[in-house]
Amino acid sequence: MATEIERKFLIDLEKIGPLENGMAIKQGYVPTSTKTAVRVRVKEDQAFLTLKGANKGATRSEFEYVIPLPDAEAMLAELCEGPIIDKTRYLISYAKHVWEVDVFYGDNQGLMVAEVEMASEGEKVELPNWVTTEVTGEVKYYNSSLLANPYKSW
C-alpha cells in the first residue's frame, strides 16, 4: 500500500527570502461519503487523480495516478464541488529534505504552508528558521477543508 508521511507547518515569509521557480497548481475535490479524499490536480501541463485515506498521525494511505490533462480539466469543471484551490508551490531543499512551500490565492489568499515528507513518523527533520508553527493533523489546514472553510473566513 502506498503511504504518505508528512508534517505541515506555517511559515514566516520574511525569513524564507525570495521564492523562485514556482509551479502553478489548481485542484478540486470530488465529494465522497467517507473520510477518503479524491483530488483532481493540474500542475502546469500535467494532471493527476489522487485518493487519500484518513490521517493516522502524520501518516495516511495515498494513491496517485497521472491522467490526461483534458480529463482533469473536465473533472474540475464537472465533478468537483465548490471553488478550486489555487496556489503556487515552491520546492526548497534543506538539510536532507525537500520542502514544499505552498502560497495560496483566491479565498485562501494570505495562507502559506510548508510540508515535508518523511520515510517514517520517527524520522528526524531539521527545521529551517522560516518554519513557525506546526499544524500537522489540524484539519482546517487540509486543502480539502479549505474549500468549505477558506482562510479568508477564519
Active-site positions?
A: 29
Helix H, strand E, coil C: the string for 43-75 is: ECCEEEEEEECCCECCEEEEEEEEECHHHHHHH
- If you count them, how many residues does the chain have? 154
Helix or strand (DSSP H, E) at 93? strand 85-94
Distance CA 61, CA 53 (A): 5
